[in-house]
Amino acid sequence: MVDLTDAEREEVIAAIRAGRPLPSRYRASLFEDASETELIWPGKTPDVERIVLPFQSIEHIDEPRSGTVRQPDLFSMSAASGRQAGGWTNKLIWGDNKLILSSLANGPMRQAIEDAGGLKLVYIDPPFDVGANFSTSVEVGGKDVVKQASVVEQLAYRDTWGRGRDSFASMIYERLAIIKGLLAADGMVFVHIDYRTSALIRLIMDEIFGSENFRNEIIWCYAGGGISKKDFPKKHDTILRYSAGDEYFFDPPMRPYSKTGSGRRSDGTPYDLDGMTPHNDWWVDIAPENTQAKTDTGYPTQKPEALLSRIIESATKPGDLVADFFCGSGTTLAVAEKLGRKWIGADLGRFAIHTTRKRMISVQRERAAQNEPYRAFEILNLGSYERQYFAGVDQSLPEAERRQVSDARQEAFFDLVMSAYGGQRSTSMPGFQGVKDSAFVLIGPLDAPVTQDDVRKAITTAKKNNVTRVDILGFEFEMGIKPAMADEAKEEGLTLTLRYIPNDVFDKRAIAKGQVKFFDVGYLEVAARQDGKTKKVTVSISDFGVFYAQDDAEVATKTLRNGGAKVLIDGGQVVRISKDVKGNTSKEVLTQSWKDWIDYWAVDFDFESQKEIIAMEVDGETKDVWTGRYIFENQWQDFRSKGNRELSTSSEDHRYDTPGEYKVAVKVVDIFGNDTTKVITVKVK
């Protein structure tokens, strides 16, 4: 029987009749499945994302092998190339991890995870610092330049911290709920946090996983840094360990045991028989990442490999599948590879994906040099989808009102961009939002990258309507999209221009003054040379350029204090503006050559040899479908590292087995993690 007073009953009835939500204090009284203890905050909802988006394979990376490594129990390999030919391929995924998790949990890839033994361990290190953002600092000409976060990244930051702890609670709640459903029945999750969010996340995890599945609150203690005069120094992080259920694997890490104390195992056997004892739940023997260490990537939130080694070894066996959905610089993935575990990594930051890619190639090289096995990995991103609600719409509104607000905001957004671009808003052709001169304009979404599918649809529509010029504007572009698709469109008689929407498009004063500059994607010039006596081909980069603009040089000069300096990006160059104590201004260009913009480049010598096949639901059945795209098979690459800033502009020779015409794709990633792809034709005699 519901335990309510007469007054409370009247309050509930009145709220229902008026269509108002019930006060949260009635939850335990009215619902028989109410949690024993539950944390309530504005905007909390039990609903979680269930959308399934296709994963698009952008790049496949498997360092060429000598063929001496043979581990058929781990994966099958091609005898001809020495490269992985089957079995589980590790996955590095760029995108919103909520959509990634939902697509993994509810889509066709779920079966691949189950076939790999199920997801045994998830470690996440979410952004628990409200001051954190997606800005990136890189070294150019001996100076550090900061690339501001993209609009997509800024929106993610707002969604995480826009309403303070309420936003963070909603963000982490939904992701942990999906992780719970994705874990194997005997799986384990470790969540790395600090004093700012530890209490909040502990209660959320009790609700999702059940307090009975709480296993440990691990305290990672470390030294270093300053000493506060007002507080005890904050020198520890918290790692919460929960299991999916009663049965789980646990192999406690051991440490040498001091015989001066007393200690016995659960069966009564003394530990000092073998001189080892398990670590306690406070870890004081692992130092933070050393900035001088070989493993340091310069990524601000990087955790030491020793920490992840202890976690992974305690909760998994060799061959188990490990995941990190806030992978950052890729420490979890690097350690998993070294320990012989399979892995999935994901991150919203394009620079994080790029940093991890370089790190994992280095791990592959190290293991190959030691004659140790390693797996190939692929870089994926999510395909396009119909965005039901515009970014920033209050999701607590009724659906009809939510759609109305969404439509109004989207129209305002299109009007704003077209005004800044100097074009006219038009809906005369479906799929395009405006016209500028003789070009139809497609405006990409505010909250996600423009995808290859978006571009292909625009090309198809333009051809059907005899349109010869199309401009596509986006805050972000899917990896592998530019400028290869513009070259492809040109062959079909269509002039396709891809341009970045600048962040200051939202500055109405800048629009009024005509100061908003839309800059083109990067350009790339490459050439292939064949040895006249053999079928060997060498690929070289002859030119590369970007058109980035960030911070106005004139404004920066006016606002700079005497004796100060600022590094900024102006017209595709990194420049350092400084003022001496007398106010005299000087300008130094740090990017002396086009080569300074390149951080990484790779070659696929037979680009159309590997079609992208994805599993899709067709007529109620899961079928393998060719997307019409090809996967970039990374056959050679060179990149800068922290210890080696040199970069070759010519590839090693590649030998073709048979004469013929081949498509060669060259991918360049600039210092900020943005990629540019060029495809050329090579005739091998």
Q: What is the pLDDT of residues 483-510, one digit of tens each?
A: 778 888 888 889 999 998 887 787 777 7
Per-residue pLDDT, 73: 42
Per-residue pLDDT, 388: 44
* The domain boundary residue, chosen from 520, 554, 589: 520
Count of structural domains within the chain = 3
Question: Lowest-pLDDT range, 106-115, 225-234, 333-342?
Answer: 225-234
Residue type, 302: Q
In a domain, 38, yes or no: no
514 and 526, same domain (yes or no): no
Q: What residue numbers bound the domain in which 682 lies? A: 522-685
CA distances from 457 to 182, 363, 454, 489, 544 (A): 33, 39, 5, 12, 28
Per-residue pLDDT, 343: 98
573 and 618, same domain (yes or no): yes
Higher pLDDT, 92 or 389: 92
CA distances from 354 to 44, 530, 584, 667 (A): 34, 31, 39, 12
In a domain, 180, yes or no: yes
Q: What residues are paired with 323 via a beta bridge? A: 122, 344
Question: Contacts by 129-133 with C-beta closer than 8 Å and gap 24+?
Answer: 129/194, 129/196, 130/161, 130/164, 130/168, 130/196, 132/157, 132/300, 132/301, 133/157
pLDDT for 206 beyond 70: yes
Higher pLDDT, 149 or 97: 97
In a domain, 47, yes or no: no
End-to-end CA, the chain: 87
166 and 245, same domain (yes or no): yes
Q: Find which of 85-89, 235-239, 265-269 is predicted with most confidence, using mean pLDDT.
A: 235-239
552 and 497, same domain (yes or no): no
Tokens of 171: 């963000």
The model's pLDDT over 664-682, given as tens digits with 9 standing for 90+, comes to 999 999 998 888 899 999 9
Contact 204, 176 (CB under 8 A): yes
Nearest to 599 by CA among 549, 651, 528, 544: 544
Question: Lowest-pLDDT range, 368-382, 395-409, 540-554?
Answer: 395-409
512 and 531, same domain (yes or no): no
509 and 528, same domain (yes or no): no
Contact 377, 93 (CB under 8 A): no
263 and 353, same domain (yes or no): yes
pLDDT for 579 beyond 50: yes
In a domain, 352, yes or no: yes
Query: Which residue in the block uniquely carries the two structure tokens 């919460």?
Result: 240
Average pLDDT over every residue of 316-345:
97
> What band does 410 get if pLDDT is binned at 50, 70 and 90?
confident
If DSSP codes are grouped into helix, strand and coil, which group holds residue 297?
coil
* The domain boundary residue, chosen from 470, 502, 520: 520
454 and 539, same domain (yes or no): no
In a domain, 390, yes or no: no
Torsion angles phi and psi, residue 610, rounded to 5: -130, 105
In a domain, 26, yes or no: no
Average pLDDT over every residue of 366-391:
77
Q: Exposure pattern of 426-448 as b/e (b: 16+ CB <10 Å)?
A: eeebeebbbbbeebbbbbbbbbb
494 and 609, same domain (yes or no): no
156 and 170, same domain (yes or no): yes
Question: Lowest-pLDDT range, 201-205, 252-256, 341-345, 513-517?
Answer: 513-517
Q: Find which of 43-57, 204-218, 446-460, 571-585 is predicted with most confidence, using mean pLDDT.
A: 204-218
In a domain, 423, yes or no: yes
429 and 555, same domain (yes or no): no
- In order, the DSSP letters of 196-259 are TTHHHHHHHHHHHH-GGGEEEEEEEE---S---SSS----EEEEEEEESSS-------EEEPPT
Question: 286, exposed or middle or buried, with CB in 10 Å at 0-12, 13-18, 19+?
Answer: middle
Query: Which residue in the block uniquely carries the two structure tokens 């697509």?
Result: 103
Question: Lowest-pLDDT range, 261-275, 389-403, 486-500?
Answer: 261-275
Q: What is the CATH number of the domain that holds 352?
A: 3.40.50.150
The model's pLDDT over 443-490, given as tens digits with 9 standing for 90+, comes to 998 778 888 888 989 999 999 999 999 999 998 888 877 677 888 888
Query: Which residue in the block uniquely carries the two structure tokens 């955790």?
Result: 303
The model's pLDDT over 138-177, given as tens digits with 9 standing for 90+, comes to 888 777 888 777 777 777 777 777 778 888 999 999 999 9
In a domain, 152, yes or no: yes
631 and 539, same domain (yes or no): yes
Mean pLDDT (the chain) is 84
* The domain boundary residue, chosen from 355, 382, 409: 382
How many whole angstroms separate alpha carbon 476 and alpha carbon 287? 37
pTM of the model: 0.84
How many whole angstroms separate alpha carbon 79 and alpha carbon 67? 7
> What band does 338 get if pLDDT is binned at 50, 70 and 90?
very high
